[in-house]
Structure 1
Amino acid sequence: MSHELITFLILIIAIILFFLEILPLPVTAMLVPISLSLTGILEPQDAFSYFGDRWVIVFLGMFIISGAMFKTGFANRIGDLTVKIAGNNGFMLLFLVMLVLGVMSAFLSNTGATAVFVPVVVAVCLRSGINSKKMLMPMAFASSLGGTLTVIGTPPNGIVNSVLNESAKYSELGFFEFSKVGIFIFIIGILYMVFFGYKLLPKESTDEKEAFEDFSQNLRTEKMWFALLIFIFVIISMATGIIDLQVAAMLGAMLTIITGCLTMNEAFNSVNWTTIFLFAGMLSMSQAIEDSGAADLIANQIVNVSVSPYIVLGILFITTALLTNFMSNTATAAIFAPIAINIAESMSVSPYPFMMAIAISASCCFLTPIATPPNTIVLGPAGYRFKDYFIAGWPLQVITFIVAMIIIPIFFPF
């Protein structure tokens, strides 16, 4: 059996196990690098190297910082203020959280913004008596939607510009050019979740909510200003790029311990290890799809049906979105961006609509908890199941596709 087929087989089996939840999610995720190693698709050192991936490090750091925000009472204070503004109105609260986080994600790392907002939203839910399951997934979706508004909002946008920059024929997309498409998707996506999507989310309560309540006992309110300063420092560092994302996140995490906001045990307990193992395990699939030749196989199939640029636009969007739901969106964009340029040149059309489709589809993926970093971050704190994402996310996935197919050719003609 060829390496391409073996890779696809491992991916399909993993998807089935994720949906059925026969095994714990981290176990299924870890079986992926194990299988890729045993079948010779990847070398073991490569398959398990993603525990050092930059986003895994960011997750670790931001979980600890989030723990400090709870333990010092900072998240609770923000929660009280938000509830005061929303007036315990679940509808208004959901809209406010999605709007604020979406705008933040346009200018900050959407991963970082989501991670630091989790304890704030959970605190809001505790204060207002709202089930956190109704809030955290819409929050993650809003973060991804907001990331489409600027070039720095999400990694795929930067990758698209990097690939364009490597070619002497094309100029990079401007800072707000992504918003020509992203603003429509952002507004419509929020309206969908606020008026309809939240109804598809689980209604039952979760043990994670109780865990957050326990974590908030015996607050160290005298350390709140330390937590606040650390939080501001990390956000500014991420926004300006003065310090790299993973360095800023981990430095902030260490400062919470040094300043006494958290003890070492509390820092370890604040990390959601399901998220860490799930993300690190599945990142190996990204490299496997590229190294095995599966990515080339997909590209060749797209070229073979390139009878119309509109059809290719749709195929690129759907293919990128589907793969991104099961591998790193950064890796997916890196794989398909150069493929899109080659296809555009072979058809003698502009590559910009294809590149925009890849940037949008790599960020707007809502079917699984591993589709984007924000999706992964909220998995553990809300106690979601794998299929919860599919149930609430598939209409939004279809909506983003339809909007993109209409808007992209208008602002980026072939």
Structure 2
Amino acid sequence: MFSIPHAWHAQYVFVVIGLAALLMASNRVRYDMIAILVVLALMLGDVLSVKESLAGFGNSVVVLIAALLVVGEMLERTGVARFVGDWIGQHSHSSINKLLIMLMIASALLSAVMSSTAVVAIFIPIVMRIAKQTGNSASQLLLPMSYAALVSGMLTLIATPPNLVISGELGAQGYAPLGFFTFTAPGLIVLGGLMIYMLYIGRKWLPNNGKSEVQSAQRSIKALWDDYRVNRELVYLRIDEESPLHSKTIAQSGLYDSYGIRILDLSQRVRGWRELKAGVSPDIVLHAGDVLHVAIPPEHHKRVEMEVGLMPFHPSQLETKYRSWEFGAESVLIHPESKLIGKSVREAKFRDHYGLDVFGVRRNRQSLENYQNQSLQASDCLLVTGPWAKILQLQRQNHDFVVLETPAEAADVVPAFRRMPVALAITAFMVLSSVFNWMPLVAAVLLSVIAAVVTRCLTAAEAYRSIHWQSLVLLAGMLPLADALQKTGGTDLIVNSLVGPAAEASPQTLLVLLFAITALLTNILSNTASAVLMAPIAISVAEQLGVSPYPLAMTVLFAASAAFMTPIASPIITLIVEPGKYRFMDFIKLGTPMLIWVFVCCYFLIPVFFPW
């Protein structure tokens, strides 16, 4: 190990910070690799001990952020975020202003309780669909949505990692940590200003890069249905109160033998709730009021209405969405070594063995008539329908089948949507625990993670996969820098350089300096790195002046979330560059007024909400 003279330790730490900043700004080295190099530099330079250099990896903030990423994955897999996005699309088609407001509010509020990066990633395809449906350019919707996700960092404690870093630093210095909604009030004012700015000024500056077109090589289920020339229509029918089908099983109903009706799924009232059953079996008992999703020959519509009381039913968009998450289709190829070769669909008892229905067979690009009774051959194509879970199981039968085509709807499936109420209850518990201080925040979030896995909102494997390890390594590697500055006297040097020239000035002068430095670091490096460096400095400056540390800590917090001006400062912004076809100057032009607005709010509002 080489050793730096103790007198030069502070200068050495500044050099390490400067080199890390240059590497980050170059955007050529992974941020997590830079963080590991920082840890090694502090360790090998004998600035910190091995234990001190690696202390960031055991920091409660790192554990908390990892757990919050799992909570965000829970909300995604249970459809909470997607439901909000689709609801926006359904209720705002008539007005671009209404659409912008709803998108920004939804993005900010969701990002306040889950990973804002995850929210933006979920919202991008939703916004693209909305843009296509409304004839708007996606470039006029994506940037306001992502800016609102950035502002969410000014709403709640768990919205972004810098908030947890600053709260943790306050606690480490002997002050009360921040509460869940400590700074929500000024944050809502910032959010309100963002919406007004985007509606009346920013909207005029947003680039119009043409109408959105969702490019996809995948076809819809309807296109597959038509391709196989299935002589049935997909419709919804409700069993009338006087129907003779009441209290009969599906096998006893005779719907297939008499009318050629195949039931794909049905919903029944169970203990006051309507329950969807995607995998129907012959022994299911039918009841009046049940809604059947069926494939029916077009000529039998009137007959079934008159003879067995099956009335046309038009489900709500929400019900249709739920069914699309449960019920799907796929085109598969018969493997040359498949055990089904030489057997017909009926002989193979396809539904009994795989839980799926075959609705068409193609051979040499031609649809087969009476396909259920024809012997299957190698390379025959089958259109199978049923629950997505069964379709996934079929994909694993790679000795019998080869997946030929998966429809576009598969990308939108929410695997655990039935657990949505549970996910909402878990999130509510986490928020309330923090608000009312029932237990430490890290304990509440870890309990939420355990509850999410136990209640099957997601599996343990999915929980681990949801953790963004690169971000955690970045944070854990940068945290020791603050300790190194404190230990070597680097923090005192920075504090004295700030306090000295402004000794006769008001504390608000230092607020201006801290905001400028933090905002500059945030837009060049990352918000996490800027918070790690500036939080202890803000607290030390306040102590030197003999004032409360909270106003300056809040200044760092707000400035760390003001990464509006460059597309590399935050993954929240980076994600939208390609789908929105934005240029670097778009962010400079639209982000500069927002940065000024955040500064104005800090200058005038923070001393009001957090007195000196």
TM-score (norm 1): 0.71
Aligned amino acid, residue 144 of structure 1: G
CA–CA separation in structure 2 for the residues paired with 1:75 and 1:141: 17
Q: Contact conserved, 1:330 with 1:362, CA < 8 A, in 2?
A: no
1:236 aligns with 2:432: yes
CA distance in 1, matches of 2:537, 2:576: 32
Which of 556, 578, 587 aligns to 1:361? It is 556
Equivalent in 317, 322, 327 of residue 529 of structure 2:
327
Please state whether the residue corresponding to 1:364 is helix, strand or coil: helix
What is the deviation of 1:276? Answer: 1.8
Say which SS state the counterpart of residue 560 (structure 2) adopts.
coil
Using the alignment, how far apart are the partners of 1:45 and 1:413 within structure 2?
Answer: 38
The alignment of Structure 1 onto Structure 2 pairs a total of residues equal to 384
Q: Distance in 2 between matches of 1:280 and 1:120?
A: 27
1:298 Cα deviation (Å)? 1.0
- Tell me if the contact between 1:57 and 1:246 (Cα under 8 Å) persists in the aligned partners: yes
- Work out which of the residue numbers 458, 476, 481 in structure 2 matches 1:262: 458
Once the two structures are TM-superposed, the CA of residue 273 in structure 1 deviates from its matched residue by 2.2
Distance 2:434 2:467 in 1: 20
Instruction: Map Cα deviations across residues 69-119 of structure 1 (whole Å, 9 max, x no partner).
Output: 2223333222222322333866544433444665789xxxx5658588567
Alignment partner for residue 140 of structure 1, among 136, 143, 149? 149
Q: Deviations over 1:125-177 (max 9, x none)?
A: 365355796366413322133359xxxx95658977998979xxxxxx9x999
Distance in 2 (CA, whole Å) between partners of 1:176 and 1:412 is 13
Aligned to 2:80: 74
Deviation of the 1:297 alpha carbon: 0.2
Cα separation, partners in 2 of 1:192 and 1:125, compared to 1, 3 Å: same
Deviation at 1:22, TM superposition (A): 1.4
Deviates more, 1:25-34 or 1:128-137: 128-137
Of 539, 549, 565 in structure 2, the residue corresponding to residue 337 of structure 1 is 539
Query: Per the alignment, in what secondary structure is the counterpart of residue 308 of structure 1?
Result: coil
Question: What RMSD over aligned residues (CA atoms) do the two structures have, in Å?
Answer: 4.8
Aligned partners of 1:304 and 1:399: how far apart in 2? 28
Q: Deviations over 1:270-329 (max 9, x none)?
A: 222222222222222222222221110011112321243264443344345556746363
Aligned to 1:58: 64
Q: In structure 2, what is the equivalent of residue 284 of structure 1?
A: 480
Q: Is 2:148–2:194's contact at 8 Å kept on the other side of the alignment? A: no
Q: Is it true that 1:308 corresponds to 2:483 in the alignment?
A: no
**Secondary structure, aligned partner of 1:22:** coil
Task: Go from structure 1 to structure 2 and tell me whether the alpha carbon gap of 1:85 and 1:42 turns closer, same or farther (over 3 Å shift).
Answer: farther
Q: C-alpha distance in 2, partners of 1:24/1:123?
A: 27
Say if 1:322 and 1:214 are closer, same or farther in 2 by CA, change over 3 A. Answer: farther
Task: State the match for 1:46 in structure 2.
Answer: 52
Contact 2:558–2:598 (8 Å) recurs in 1:
no
Amino acid at match of 1:125: V
2:30 aligns to what? Answer: 24
Structure having the higher strand fraction is 2
Which of the residues 424, 433, 441 maps onto 1:245?
A: 441
Query: Which shows bigger deviation, 394-403 or 20-29?
Result: 394-403
Stretch of structure 1 that moved more, 397-406 or 238-247: 397-406
Query: Is residue 41 of structure 2 the alignment partner of residue 35 of structure 1?
Result: yes
Change over 3 Å in CA distance of 1:161–1:180 after alignment to 2: farther
CA contact (8 A) 1:79 1:123 kept: no
Instruction: Please point out which of 125, 128, 143 is paired with 2:127.
Output: 125
1 CA distance for matches of 2:609 and 2:458? 49
Q: Which amino acid aligns with 2:90?
A: K
Paired position in structure 2 for 1:348 = none
Q: Provide closer, same or farther for how the CA distance between residues 311 and 263 of structure 1 changes in structure 2, counting only shifts above 3 A.
A: closer
Match of 1:293 in 2: 489
> Structure 1 residue 377: deviation in Å?
7.8
In 2, distance between residues paired with 1:101 and 1:240? 25
Query: What SS is found at the alignment partner of 2:529?
Result: coil
Distance 2:419 2:611 in 1: 55
Q: Which has the higher contact order (CA 8 A, sep 6+)?
A: 1
Q: Aligned residue for 1:401? A: 599
Structure 1, unaligned runs of 5 or more: 167-172, 206-212, 346-350, 370-374
Quote the sequence identity (%).
Answer: 23
Farther off after superposition, 234-243 or 295-304: 234-243
Equivalent residue letter for 2:452: T
Deviation of 1:412 (Å):
9.1
Q: Partners in 2 of 1:58 and 1:389 — Cα distance?
A: 34
Higher helix share: 1
Are 1:12 and 2:18 matched, yes or no? yes
- What's the CA shift string for 1:158-199, capped at 9, x where partnerless? 977998979xxxxxx9x9997896665454345456653995
1:273 equivalent in structure 2? 469
**How far apart in 2 are the matches of 1:275 and 1:214?**
29
Distance 2:73 2:411 in 1: 8
Change (3 A) 1:179 1:259: closer
Q: Given that residues 326 and 368 in structure 1 are in contact (C-alpha distance below 8 angstroms), is that contact kept between their aligned partners in structure 2?
A: no
Deviations 1:28-78 (A, max 9, x none): 222222222121222222222222333322222222222222223333222
CA distance in 1, matches of 2:70, 2:181: 33
CA contact (8 A) 2:144 2:198 kept: no
Quote how far apart the aligned CAs of 1:395 are.
5.1
Give the stretch that moved more between structures: 401-410 or 157-166: 157-166
Pairs within 5 Å for 1:77-88: 77-87=83-93
Question: What is the CA-CA distance between 1:19 and the residue it aligns to?
Answer: 2.0
The change in CA–CA distance for 1:13 and 1:192 in structure 2 (over 3 A counts) is farther
Change in CA separation of 1:188 and 1:240 when aligned onto 2, cut-off 3 Å: same
Structure 2, unmatched stretches of 5+, are 132-137, 214-408, 579-583
